[in-house]
Every structure is written in structure tokens, then in C-alpha cells.
Structure 1
Amino acid sequence: MTFSFDTTTQLWLEISPASIEQSWQQSQSCSTPEGRWHTYLNQICLNTFLPWLQAEYEPNATAWQTLHPLAAIWEVVNGTAIEIQGKRLILIPSKSLDTSEFYIPQEWVDLPSWIGDYYLAVQINLDEGWLRIWGYTTHQEIVAKSSYDASDRNYYLEEEFLNQDITLLWVIRQVSPAEPTRATLPITQTLQQNYGASLLQRLSNPDLALLRLQVPFEFWGTLLEESSTLERLYQQRRGVKQIVNLGQWWQNRFEETWQSLENLMETGYNASLLNLRDSEQNVIKRVKLVNLEGTDRQFVLLLVLETEPDRRLGIRVRLGTTESPLCLPSNLRLALISASGEILQSVEARSVDNFIQLKRFKCPKKMRFSIEVSLDNFSFIEEFTT
């Protein structure tokens, strides 16, 4: 419900005790104190502001979840997005008493799929149970008038550039719905698939805090622009294993990190290094680029699938290299591991090998296993289900 308006027509809304309790419980699944705090404040903000917005102005307003689930966003970035008839509101909640400037995380300003039209500064007082919208601005204004702090990757806009009368926002939307609100952004670059996977693996370490500051923004930003990367990062940091579903490969549904051999060859890779026969029919071949953390070598992991007459799945696993020298390092090991952790078979490279492979094996439906690539004290493990 609306709590009150002050003389500058700032919007004040009452926060229900139930929302505070519910938001606190939801925040406890996050992997870091920062993520829990973001989730707590943003869930309160969304639960309080969105019903008011729907009741007063925009019945069809919805929380933005087009690219990533909100929980995954709040794990790493403060802010909530709401969609209203082709426009996007970005709410940035804070408990700070200082309203001399409005801070906006860089992600909400510089990422093409994240940017909004209107940005609302939200102050939350949990002790007294209220929030207020103490000002708003547009993306254009932020780009033109804010200052950027590279140390925390936030934009800061002085209070004097904010419009404190939020009722004007709805008036402008009615009178001039086509008014430009967004600045033009430069074209962003796309990370190479193998580097993106390596970066995701690194950031999945639950001991890392302030993830958005761990790598250069151009890398971090392109990760967030990928449709499922942030959710995968969120799940991995919470200890939820990502399992490759081989059964879905027959419906042409592939995990992003498993690409076709043709795509890999377009980058200049010589498929003959894997000693494949061109005549193979009715099989699925997918490859994954593997970067072993702590080493400077990159490898190609190949899976070849074919159905058996008894409806089991026949699987071949092969490991090659993408780099010169073309021979694999000695002691590089490829292993098949059961769901219980037992090593079912393994093979170790010699200094003269340019690929190694496991013996062909068969799996019934819904069987789980893992493939491990290891060198010295470093290893990579991928889990599969049929």
C-alpha cells in the first residue's frame, strides 16, 4: 500500500513484515554474503513496488526474466528490472541514508540486453518498514552526465540530475510514449567459446567473492550476454552439478560448450588429428575444447554416439590436441568413471601420441557416468547421463 507522499512527491511505500521474512528466507540459498544481501533487498523491492505499479499505472507490468532468472542476477549484481509495454524500469535498492548521488552498476548501463529506459533510485528502511523512490532518470542521462568509477564498476549520478517527482514519469509516458530514453552503445565483442567455458569454470569457484570485479568487464559482460551462462554460474556456485544429457542430443539439443566438428574446423582445426572416418553414418559427433586449469595446453574431447540394436547407446571417447606440438604430453590421462566414482577404464598418452581413446562402451538409458581428463595434478571432469 502507499504509505505517504512528501512535499516533493517522492513515492513512499510500506513494506509488509511478511515480505521481509519471505525475502530473507529466499536470500539464504545464495553462495556469498553479497549475493544474499542483493537478493534480500531486491526481493523486498520487487514484492513491494511491482504490486503498487500494477494497481496504479501498469496492470501488465512484469519482472524481467527474459535472459536470466532474477536469483542468478542478484547473486552477482544489484538491481531489478521491470517490463512495462516495451519499456524497462531498472530499480536499484539501497539501505544507505546518503542520497547525494545515485549509483548504478555498469552491467545495467553498458550491456545491450540489460539496459533500461528509466532508472529508479530506491531507499529501503527495514527498521521502519518502508521504501521510497527518491529520484529517477533515463539511460541517456546516465551516459551523458554520470561519472564512472573503475574500482567498483559503478556509474554515479549527482542528485541534482535526478527527477524527484515520479508522477512525471507516468505523465511523460502518456504524453510522449516515443520519447528517446536510451543512449547508443558500441557493439560488444563475443568471447570465443573455449575461453568463455574456461572463464565460467574459473568463476564457479565458490570461494571467489565480488565476481563482477574478478575479470575485465569486456569478458565479464560478454559472459552475461550469453543466454544461459549466468544461470549455469549460479547453479555451479551453489553446488548444483551440470550434467550433459546425451539423450537430448538425438533431438538436436546440445549444451553450448559441446559444438559440432564442422564448427571447430571453421576455426582452422585439422579434424584428421582425431583420426575420424568420413564414411561414418547415423552417428552424432560433438567436441568440447578443454583447458586444464594450471596448464598452458588446450585439448579436444570428442564423443561419438550411435544407437545399438538393443536400444543401448554406443559411445566412443577420444582426446586430441589443438596446439603445436601436435603430440600429446606424456602422462595425459583419459578415464571413464562410474556414478559411484569407480574408474572403469583409462588410457595414458605417450610422448608420440597425437590422440588417445577409450575402448568403445555401451550404456542403457538413464545411466550416469563421467569422463576425466587429467595431467599431473590438474584435471577436468564432465558428468553425463544417457
Structure 2
Amino acid sequence: MDSITQLELQISAAIDHRAWQHSQRYSMPKAQWTAYLNQVCLETVLPWLQAEYASRSTASLTAWDLIQGCAIEWNEKRLVLIPEKSFDTSELRVPQEWIDVPSWVGDYYLAVQINPDESSLRIWGYTTHAQIKALGQYDSSDRAYSLNAQFLVQDMAVLWVMRQLYPTELTRVEVTELPSVAETQAENLLQRLATVEQPRLEIPFTMWGSLLETRSWRERLHQLRQGRNPNTTVATNLRQWLENSFTAGWSAIEAWLNPEELAFSFRQTEIVELTGVRRVKPLEFAEQTVLLMLALAPEADGRVSIRVQLRPAERSQCLPMGLSLSLVSASGDVVQSVQAREQDNSIQLQRFKCPAGTEFSLQVALGNAVLTEAFQC
């Protein structure tokens, strides 16, 4: 195969392991597989793109387990990557959401073939939103557009050249705005979609598309489908951690970061060197997955010493600018807070000591999305 024509990348063992762990949060096989493909695709292609063509490229949209595909902002254009395990390269099939939901529309659509057995992926062709709308065939049975391979450009070098020579190339066309969904109706729909195999096919596309466009609803559905209800947070008992009884969802740091990664950032030394218990939990935002890391140790006076850090799940990435980490008291007061700046690869709170029985929460926020973890010492 001509390596100039079709881009091939290796999937690292760390990315493969992390994506598989993430996928196991979902109870349904299709959801697990979709989440796995999306994460492997994004975490393999984005670092390569940043290193080779545009260091400021960022992940902009991922549908987790809901829809195959993920999006990257690249030189003021949006690349939509559609990962498939199938070895059929006769056509590109793109879920309707990436074509007809206005805020999800991309400029270029890349066909990505993933081979988990060989830990590799291949980008075998690309096209534009305008071409899919003009030449693609819509299939109502699975709400997808298909485009015959003959209409795809299979030399990926052409894409980079076209962006340089024809920066004003028409890549996308207008799509119809979707009607809004009332908040009460949206909540009812989210509860209904939380337990079905294919939520994207369960309700009319206009309603489904409207739910996806509202970020808070999209993220709430994601949490519900993992069995987590954001409105009924249960406090994690940290004393039990000190007795080696751990809460579901929290893993040993070593399960996520290998020794090389642990040594990568000198700002991690406080987390790494603190004796006691160290646990990590992945938190997913639209932009990327971040790791919430806690390290705690008992004090002689009965209190618990706690350090908290936030870092990207993928070492090559930085935290999204503006992402905040806050310590909130039981009464709702913000005790301390820190915010990620441009190019920050970790942020952390100052160490604090927690008396027995004290309740607090950690809030991780990005824009309107807020994830909260409650604790009791």
C-alpha cells in the first residue's frame, strides 16, 4: 500500500488500554464498541495532526457511545473522523447527525479504518460536507449518508495541499435549523433514552438533533447511560479508601499512567510521592477526557491530608483552556479554585486537611458543563 496515498498510524498500547477501560462503563455491547472506536480514533489522530500539521488543533466534538465519529478543529476548519472496524472500503457511511445537525457540520469527512488486532488505523479517503449533500445517498433505516468510494479523494496529501492553495474552497452547505425542545420534554426524553440500545434511532431526528445541540443535555444523557444521575450525587467515603475499600469508578493511578507518564510532569511529584492512597477517575467533556486524581494520607491528629490534581488522559494533550477545578464546602462556598491556562498540562489545588465527618465536593467545570464529585472524610 502506498504510504503517501493513505495515512497509516499505530495505536499505542496505552491508548488501546485506556479506550477499552472507558468503554466498559456501558452495559450494552454496541455502546461499548462505539465508545472504543471513537476514543482510539481521536487519541491517535489528534496528536499526529498536532505534531505534523497544526500544533493548535483541538478536539471539538465527540459523541462518546452515542454516534460513531469525532471532530477536530484544524486551521479554522473542522475535520470529522468516522471510524469503522469494517474492511469494506467501497463506501463511506456518515451518521446523519454529522451532516444535518447545524452545530455538528464539518468541512472535511475522513474515512478511518481501525484494525484492533494489529493496533493500527488507516485513513483511506476524505470528502467534504458539500459533496456528501450533493452526491451521497440517504438511508432512513439507520439515518446515515453513504458516499461511493469513487467520489472520495484517497490521497491524503491532497487535503493538506488544497488547504494551502485553495483556502476558500467551498466545503460545506447550509442545513436547516432544528426546532427547539422544551426543557420538560427534554428531561423526559433523556430518561427514556438512557437505557435503549440505539437512542439515536428511538425518536424523530429533529428531536434527537435538538438534544445533541444542547451541550448540557448531551452530557446528561452520557452520564445517565453510564448509570450516573447528576442530580443524585452520592458522597464517596474517603475513610474507606484508607482501609482499601474503594468506590466504583475510581482506579489506581498506575492503571492509567505508566511510570514514564508519572515522571513526565514535575508538578505531579506531590501526587506521586505522597504516601497513602492514590486514586484516579476519568471525567469526560465534549473536548476531551480528563483525569481527576486524589492522593490522601492519614494525619496523626485524625485528619486526612488530601491533594487533588487534574490532567489530560492523553499525555500529548493540554487541558482545555478555562477548565476549572474547585473545592466546595458542604454549605456551597468555594474554598479554593484553579483554572487551566493555555498550554497547561495539569492543574492542582493546594493541599488541605479534612477532619473526620467533614463533607465537601470537587467541581470540574468547562463552559456550561459542570461535573461534581462529593466526598466525606
Shorter-normalised TM-score: what interval?
A: 0.5 to 0.7
Counterpart of 1:46 (choices 42, 62, 76) is 42
Counterpart of 1:226 (choices 200, 214, 217) is 214
Cα distance in 1 for partners of 2:64, 2:183 equals: 25
Shift of 1:194: 2.6
Residues 9, 144 of structure 1: alpha-carbon distance in 2 compared, 3 angstrom cutoff: same
Counterpart of 1:196 (choices 142, 167, 186) is 186
Residues 227, 127 of structure 1: alpha-carbon distance in 2 compared, 3 angstrom cutoff: closer
Uncovered stretches (5+) of structure 1, i.e. residues with no partner: 246-310, 312-365, 368-386
Are 1:22 and 2:12 counterparts?
Answer: no
Paired residue secondary structure (1:74): coil
Relative to the length of structure 2, the TM-score reads 0.60
Cα distance in 2 for partners of 1:128, 1:244 equals: 42
Paired residue secondary structure (2:50): helix
Aligned to 1:88: 78
Cα distance in 2 for partners of 1:148, 1:232 equals: 29
1:287-366 matched pairs, under 5 angstroms? none
Cα distance in 2 for partners of 1:219, 1:86 equals: 29
Paired residue secondary structure (1:127): helix
Aligned to 1:163: 153
Are 1:243 and 2:231 counterparts?
Answer: yes
Shift of 1:40: 1.0
1:140-289 matched pairs, under 5 angstroms? 140-204=130-194, 206=195, 208-243=196-231
Shift >3 Å, 4+ stretches: none
Shift of 1:113: 0.6
Aligned to 1:35: 31
Shift of 1:7: 6.6
> What amino acid does structure 2 have at the position aligned with 1:238?
Q
Residues 189, 56 of structure 1: alpha-carbon distance in 2 compared, 3 angstrom cutoff: same
Equivalent pair of 2:6/2:155 in contact (CA under 8 Å): yes
Cα distance in 2 for partners of 1:14, 1:236 equals: 33
Deviation string, structure 1 residues 181-219 (Cα, Å, up to 9, x no partner): 111112221123332222122222x2x111101111111
Paired residue secondary structure (2:104): coil
Cα distance in 2 for partners of 1:6, 1:74 equals: 32
Equivalent pair of 1:89/1:119 in contact (CA under 8 Å): yes
Uncovered stretches (5+) of structure 2, i.e. residues with no partner: 234-330, 332-358, 361-377
Paired residue secondary structure (2:109): strand
Deviation string, structure 1 residues 254-295 (Cα, Å, up to 9, x no partner): xxxxxxxxxxxxxxxxxxxxxxxxxxxxxxxxxxxxxxxxxx
Cα distance in 1 for partners of 2:138, 2:178 equals: 19
Cα distance in 2 for partners of 1:196, 1:168 equals: 43
Cα distance in 2 for partners of 1:133, 1:62 equals: 18
Shift of 1:227: 2.3
Cα distance in 1 for partners of 2:73, 2:171 equals: 14
Cα distance in 1 for partners of 2:17, 2:124 equals: 24
Cα distance in 2 for partners of 1:21, 1:190 equals: 39
Relative to the length of structure 1, the TM-score reads 0.58
Aligned residue-pair number: 238
Equivalent pair of 1:31/1:75 in contact (CA under 8 Å): no
Q: Which has more radius of gyration?
A: 1
Shift of 1:97: 1.1
Cα distance in 2 for partners of 1:244, 1:32 equals: 23
> What amino acid does structure 1 have at the position aligned with 2:175?
L
Aligned-pair identity (%): 51
Shift of 1:237: 2.3
